[in-house]
Structure 1
Amino acid sequence: MSMQVEDILGRHKRLKDARRTWESHWQELAEVMLPRRADFTTQQMPGQRRQEHIYDGTPMLARRGLASAIDGLLKPKTAKWFKIKAQDEDLAEDEEVKRWLEGAEERLYRAIYNRRARFIQRSGEVDDDLVTFGTGALFIGEAKDLDRLLFKSFHLRDVILVENADGEIDTVYISMKLTARQAASKWGEAALGDAVKEALSSKESEKQFPFLWCVAPRKDRDRGRRDSENMPFASIVIDVTAEKEIEKSGFHEFPFAVPRWDTTSGEVYGRSPGMIALPDANTLQQMGKTLLVAGHKAVDPPLLVGDDSVFGTPKTFPGGITTFDMQAARDLGRIPIEPLQTGSNLPLGREMQNDTRDQIWAAFFRNVLQLPVDAPRMTATEVLERKEEFIRTIGPVFGRLESDYLAAVVERSFMILLRAGAFPEPPEALRGREIQFDYASPVEQARKQIEAAGAARSVELMGPFVQADPSIMDNFDGDAIARDTPDIFGMPSKWIRPEAAVAELREARQQAQQVEALPEEARAGADVVQKLAQAAGAGQT
């Protein structure tokens, strides 16, 4: 075993041991919110039922609702949620540059949502982990045939994260279990350890073996070389059984998006809305069980039977006949069988149950995500106030996710496509210049619409002053407002004419107005001059 392999395996074991507390916490969360992931501390068979102890599905529904909201608010498939712009403001207004960047956006969008890239499926799994456990891990890479992007998600149970000095995740360990056949197909039989090779040769190719994949910054590399072993991030795969390195390569960029819902100083893993809801979720399961028993008792109550007053056991099944002693009935003054009154209060139990459900929904932001920000019969001021409340509550969380989640996906995907030659040659003005990515999610759109509404309210407020002095409107740059409209309302920028075309249109309109203002004789002469000029121009061509 090489020193490097020994170091990787040893460090992974120490990190794994250090996070046992997290795993027990995640197990408890998964059992009531995400049962298919409930195997952090217990081993479950594929296909095994995992909801035997669930008496109320509210925690799972609340988790699903917030995960769906993340997908719809951060990365909706029905809308472009990112834009590529030149970092230099003057360059960003260049029409040729803008057209190239818009074309690059379109190609990048299609590549991310390529059916075979599986972004929708894998990012959805990460969203579930994020709202339940507070941390997710998404790999952004290339398919084996190098003709498309490839996204992979991983069970948090198998992922170990390490921060650098700046608090950024820069090292990931991933435990994998592959069959001997899968390992041979992925890395080649010659690279594998003896135990895996033996399984292949003895017809046990479906036997599983553990492997460890480590991605970390490469400390020693030749920056002048561009091969896989000198890239900024090292990638090493180890056959754990044989303690043998079976693959060594690298990445140009850190290949993982590791979103964390909320972080605490000194903690690597994030905290989630699920953790806030966990006490109520556990209480709700106990309430559900108790009310289920109470409901059974109310519908099919236990019986009170007088001693020696009934012959045999009471027949409580449908159509059953129970024989009782008539003398005992006369002595008691009633039939000697009656339901036992337990004094249960089902309405109170249901009220407490609903209160607990509301607490869980609130932890998963349902009260915010379902704000009727555009409900009918609302004034413009009410709509604006609702949107502002929405942004104040959910904005900070989604801002972090844009930075740690969307940015990693888009920037890594763009660089992969750029190196693969998936974009046409950029304009000369753009070569060697910096670009930036802006995220046009519905949350960001709401922010911009609040700004636009603020501008409209300012103009409305100044209405009386403008009537007295129309020159006040000279303070507003109408062209700037018009050109910001596509960003504010998600309109394609190609619907806006280039500035040069607008200038030509205005000049032509001004000339036409000047001709209209001339006397009739002068106007006829101007028309003749214009026609002669057009004819001269045609003769030159």
Structure 2
Amino acid sequence: MLGLTDILARHDELKAIRAPVERQWREIAQLMCPEQEDMFTGNSRTNPAYDEIYDATTMQAAEAFSGGIYGQMTNPANNWFEFGLEDPELASYYPVKSWLWRQSRKAYGTFSPARSKFYSEAPGWFGDLGIFGLGTMYSEEIVGAGRFLDRAIPLGESYIDVDAEGDVDTFHRAFRLTGRQAKQKFPELDALGNQVNDRTTYDVIHAVCPNPEYDARRIGVHGKAFLSVYVAPQIKNFIRVGGYHRMPYHVVMWKRRPGRVYPVGPGHIARPEAAMLNEMERTHIVAAQRAADPTILAHDEDTFSPADYYPGNVIYGQVNERGQPLAQPLNSGANLQLSLDMSKERRDAIRQAFYFSVMQLVNRPQMTATEFLGFQEEYLRQMGPNLGRIQSQGLAPLIARRYDILAQAGQIDPPPPELENQPLQIEYTSPLAKMQKAGEAKATLQYVNGMQQLAAATQDIGVMDNVDGDAVAAVLHEAMGPPPSIRRDPAEVAKLRQQRAQIAARREQLVQDGQAAETEATRAHAAQAATLSTQREAGQ
């Protein structure tokens, strides 16, 4: 089992891995989130250096990025995930479908505001992802309370390492607690007496790594896949050892770099532009000040005094006999408009780095169906690979861990026998997930429109028999993402069609009956006329 010396040695290794990227993080923080700058320096500032930022474009773009990811992936107004199976036919079988729906609702309920702070912490999770390319979230059950602790972990407290496949398998959180807080979190510290002072601040390390003694057949710590160790170097004889079945720290990365542990994000791309824009805006402020209060050129001190320079003042004797002023403002001849145009280009580049236009325009109500699908396709082309990584590395492990906790607590219903040896899979139903069907839906619409044009050109309506309208409706519903209630159940559609067919059949029968009656009347009238004619002939 790992001890204090092992944890501290490993922590030094993780610090060495992170050290090369900290300089970039500090520079990014100075421009985009000054309140986080001290996390990478260790020096706390009374006030964040917002007074050194002269343009808020970068911060606004980063905020829009965080809100866009949150709204498109984990918006509480939408059902953003459910459970499914690899076999779609089995998943559509009613008993299985009903069981999957009930369990997904249970897992989804663990994220509700009444049981978790996930929705209030997720924007910070995604905010760090956009600015630094890395965001971390801690999730744990509050035993006995029926609630969950979800917390976005500050990047300054996060140290990671990856396994041979590039997945995060080691996480150290280095944070500080006062003695009073430490005793609340670790009640066993009370046994150490005066060794822990309530007003003293202590460094704490929470290390989570693969359990070297893991054995699934055992119980207790040895039966956990991940080892959990709390240590406080300043408190002698303190170490808490536990374990987790799954990694409790959920790390999302934006863009992986080959051979590197730490990724990059939109903030790395925007940093040069943000630094240049900030300096240019500082210069514009100086230029505006010079324009409003220009430097005065005078022949000597007696010609003009700063005390004379105020609105409405009349200064006598400051022009020569030709009317030329003896004192005048300095005109540098600078072309400020050129600099302003360059600043606009920098702002556009920053917004582009944070996908600002995409975040602002998505789901515009005035879009036509074709425009909407085309926009979704462009959205995925720009962001799809990175967003897929958020789902696979961040959200999927978090949801799976929730399910495991519910199962261990006996809150998952026994599955139907058809699900034996059938692994569950997470199916995302957020607006982002629906966008992944955009390309298929666009191709479907193009196919239908092409068939309509072909039918019109050949005057052969039978060409449209090649189009399955129900299949087209299913694809478009999946891609455009309207509420499920918009689309009728297939059984109800079949019932409506049957009723429509019965009504059409009755109408056809009425028409046929009418034609038969008319024929019979005509025949009877002809027979009557023939009889009358015969009678007349006999009478003659």
Match of 1:213 among 206, 210, 213: 206
Counterpart-to-counterpart distance in 1, 2:2 and 2:402:
34
TM-score (norm 2): 0.84
Cα–Cα, structure 1 residues 464 and 43, in superposed 2: closer, same or farther, change >3 Å? closer
Stretch deviating more after TM superposition (227-236 or 486-495): 486-495
Cα–Cα, structure 1 residues 215 and 469, in superposed 2: closer, same or farther, change >3 Å? same
Cα deviation, 1:47-84, whole Å, max 9, x if unaligned, reads 52321211111111111111111111222222111121
Stretch deviating more after TM superposition (167-176 or 445-454): 445-454
Partner of 2:528: none
Q: CA deviation at 1:31?
A: 0.5
Partner of 2:306: 314
Counterpart-to-counterpart distance in 2, 1:29 and 1:383:
34
Counterpart-to-counterpart distance in 2, 1:499 and 1:488:
18
Q: Tell me if structure 2 keeps the 8 A contact 1:395–1:443.
A: no
Match of 2:481 among 490, 494, 497: 490
Counterpart-to-counterpart distance in 2, 1:502 and 1:282:
60
Counterpart-to-counterpart distance in 2, 1:43 and 1:10:
20
Counting only pairs closer than 5 Å after superposition, residues 512-531 of structure 1 correspond to structure 2 as none
Match of 1:290 among 255, 258, 283: 283
Identical amino acids, percent of aligned pairs: 31
Cα–Cα, structure 1 residues 341 and 469, in superposed 2: closer, same or farther, change >3 Å? closer
Q: Tell me if structure 1 keeps the 8 A contact 2:452–2:464.
A: no
Q: Tell me if structure 1 keeps the 8 A contact 2:162–2:170.
A: yes
Counterpart-to-counterpart distance in 2, 1:476 and 1:322:
87
Cα deviation, 1:325-359, whole Å, max 9, x if unaligned, reads x4x75478545332222223222221121111111
Structure 1 segments unaligned to the other structure (5+ residues): 523-541
Partner of 1:429: 418
Q: Partner of 1:462: helix, strand, or coil?
A: helix
Match of 1:405 among 379, 394, 399: 394
Cα–Cα, structure 1 residues 48 and 103, in superposed 2: closer, same or farther, change >3 Å? same
Cα deviation, 1:285-342, whole Å, max 9, x if unaligned, reads 111111111110100111122215348x431564796877x4x754785453322222
Counterpart-to-counterpart distance in 1, 2:471 and 2:312:
85
Q: Tell me if structure 1 keeps the 8 A contact 2:431–2:481.
A: no
| Equivalent residue letter for 1:238 | V
Q: Does 1:359 align with 2:349?
A: yes
Partner of 1:92: 91
Partner of 1:342: 332
Partner of 1:462: 451
Stretch deviating more after TM superposition (249-258 or 160-169): 249-258
Cα–Cα, structure 1 residues 210 and 289, in superposed 2: closer, same or farther, change >3 Å? same
Counterpart-to-counterpart distance in 2, 1:480 and 1:319:
77
Cα–Cα, structure 1 residues 226 and 258, in superposed 2: closer, same or farther, change >3 Å? same
Match of 1:198 among 186, 189, 194: 194
Stretch deviating more after TM superposition (383-392 or 9-18): 383-392
Partner of 1:129: 128
Counterpart-to-counterpart distance in 2, 1:135 and 1:286:
27
Counterpart-to-counterpart distance in 2, 1:57 and 1:115:
35
Counterpart-to-counterpart distance in 2, 1:369 and 1:233:
37
Counterpart-to-counterpart distance in 1, 2:92 and 2:468:
16
Counterpart-to-counterpart distance in 2, 1:215 and 1:372:
39
Q: Tell me if structure 2 keeps the 8 A contact 1:223–1:230.
A: yes
Cα–Cα, structure 1 residues 375 and 106, in superposed 2: closer, same or farther, change >3 Å? closer
Q: CA deviation at 1:186?
A: 1.2
Counterpart-to-counterpart distance in 2, 1:60 and 1:115:
31
| Equivalent residue letter for 2:327 | I
Q: CA deviation at 1:207?
A: 2.1
Counterpart-to-counterpart distance in 2, 1:263 and 1:350:
35
Cα–Cα, structure 1 residues 336 and 118, in superposed 2: closer, same or farther, change >3 Å? same
| Equivalent residue letter for 1:233 | F
Q: CA deviation at 1:498?
A: 6.5
Partner of 1:238: 231
Match of 1:386 among 370, 375, 385: 375
Counterpart-to-counterpart distance in 1, 2:382 and 2:179:
50
Counterpart-to-counterpart distance in 2, 1:361 and 1:219:
46
Q: CA deviation at 1:168?
A: 0.6
Q: Does 1:225 align with 2:227?
A: no
Partner of 1:528: none
Partner of 1:447: 436
Q: Partner of 1:270: helix, strand, or coil?
A: coil
Cα deviation, 1:228-256, whole Å, max 9, x if unaligned, reads 44211111101121364521111111122
Q: Partner of 2:307: helix, strand, or coil?
A: coil
| Equivalent residue letter for 1:198 | N
Cα–Cα, structure 1 residues 495 and 292, in superposed 2: closer, same or farther, change >3 Å? closer
Q: Tell me if structure 1 keeps the 8 A contact 2:62–2:354.
A: yes
TM-score (norm 1): 0.84
Paired positions, count: 511
Q: Tell me if structure 2 keeps the 8 A contact 1:15–1:160.
A: yes
Structure 2 segments unaligned to the other structure (5+ residues): 514-540
Q: CA deviation at 1:510?
A: 6.8
Counting only pairs closer than 5 Å after superposition, residues 51-66 of structure 1 correspond to structure 2 as 51-66=50-65
Q: CA deviation at 1:373?
A: 7.2
Counterpart-to-counterpart distance in 1, 2:270 and 2:330:
37
Cα–Cα, structure 1 residues 344 and 425, in superposed 2: closer, same or farther, change >3 Å? same
| Equivalent residue letter for 1:171 | T
Stretch deviating more after TM superposition (294-303 or 506-515): 506-515
Q: Partner of 1:16: helix, strand, or coil?
A: helix
Counterpart-to-counterpart distance in 2, 1:108 and 1:280:
43
| Equivalent residue letter for 2:433 | E
Partner of 1:530: none
Cα deviation, 1:456-508, whole Å, max 9, x if unaligned, reads 33123223666866665555555555555653343565776766777777778
RMSD: 3.3
Counterpart-to-counterpart distance in 1, 2:311 and 2:496:
92
Cα–Cα, structure 1 residues 391 and 41, in superposed 2: closer, same or farther, change >3 Å? closer
Q: Tell me if structure 2 keeps the 8 A contact 1:23–1:157.
A: no
Counterpart-to-counterpart distance in 1, 2:221 and 2:488:
46
| Equivalent residue letter for 2:481 | G
Counterpart-to-counterpart distance in 2, 1:396 and 1:26:
23
Partner of 1:153: 152
Stretch deviating more after TM superposition (501-510 or 263-272): 501-510
Q: Partner of 2:328: helix, strand, or coil?
A: strand
Q: Tell me if structure 2 keeps the 8 A contact 1:180–1:208.
A: yes
Q: Tell me if structure 2 keeps the 8 A contact 1:310–1:323.
A: no
Q: Tell me if structure 2 keeps the 8 A contact 1:309–1:336.
A: no
Partner of 2:521: none
Q: Does 1:267 align with 2:260?
A: yes
Counterpart-to-counterpart distance in 1, 2:195 and 2:381:
58
Counterpart-to-counterpart distance in 1, 2:477 and 2:414:
26
